Amino acid sequence: MPAEVRAMTAPPHPPPRSASSARAPRRPGRALLTWGAPLLAVGLVVLTVLAANVRDRASALRLAAAELRARLDPGERVQHQTRTVERHWYDLYRATYGALAATDRRVLYVGVLPELYPSADAPRAYDVRSYPYDTLFSIAMADAGRGSAAVVVRHGRSARRYRVPASQRADLAALVREAFRRDNALREALRREKQWRDSLAALPPIREYYRVQPGDALEAIARRFATTTERLRALNHLESDRIRVGEQLLVRETPHPVTPCPPEVCGTITSSEGALQLPAARTLNPPPR
């Protein structure tokens, strides 16, 4: 083939690329490092938090139980107790381990606030809440999901929810029944005591009479009984100070005294140590589990 024909049929050569348009091939290791570094950092944070939780759990539960015992009043006794665990975002989802107890006087909670680097020498911070049994108190179990349990304790307008591990569900149910029983017993005792006071207030007043003797005058009788002639005239509906020998005069009228409700009627609300004693005249049904 002639040289002219070969030159015309040969494919054209591509134009040479400039140095600025040329790109170096991407290395797989650098791309993996770019995407994997954030994931690795998140994983390290999660592992650090989990390790701190595991390390802090045993000591926090021990501290919570000891602090709860230290917070008891003289003569106060724990009836039922359970462990609690809560996680808050502002604690980097670290757990707040604590103890919840129903005593003979109240429901008491002690939580050990988490610390990132707890020191053996520095004192720990506690979240302590007390709910005395009274007309403002209520307690009920709640569903926490994922096999765990929870309880809602209310006192007045404030309410607090406590989560309990699944292994502590039976202990929590016993605690709720005990607190419910004591709270309702106190309400029943207060109701009986009010009924006792109202029944005494409805009784007629105590009246004291005096029989007029010869030589008595209304003014002398009033001085003897520390009253006035006006009062004697009003009590006996007299139009004047004239009285007759042998007449019965009402000289004193006092309300019936309000005596304490006897234990066999109302039940003893508090003992000498301040502990709640339950009235036995009524069967109290616990809330549903």
Averaged over successive runs of 10 residues, the pLDDT of the chain (289 residues) comes to 50 54 53 58 56 68 92 93 82 79 94 73 85 90 79 91 90 93 85 85 87 91 90 90 89 83 69 47 42
State the pTM of this model: 0.60
Q: How far apart, in whole angstroms, are the C-alpha atoms of residue 284 and residue 182?
A: 9
Q: What is the pLDDT of residue 64?
A: 92
For residue range 70-98, what is the model confidence (pLDDT) as tens digits? 999 999 999 999 999 887 766 656 788 99
Q: What is the pLDDT of residue 35?
A: 57
Q: What is the pLDDT of residue 288?
A: 42
Q: What is the pLDDT of residue 281?
A: 39
Q: How far apart, in whole angstroms, are the C-alpha atoms of residue 94 and residue 72?
A: 28
Q: What is the pLDDT of residue 277?
A: 57
Residue 261 and residue 192 in contact, taking contact as beta carbons nearer than 8 Å: yes
Q: What is the pLDDT of residue 283?
A: 40
Residue 128 and residue 109 in contact, taking contact as beta carbons nearer than 8 Å: yes
What b/e string do you get for 148-169 counting C-beta neighbours within 10 Å, with b at 16 or more? bbbbebebeeeeeebbbbeebb
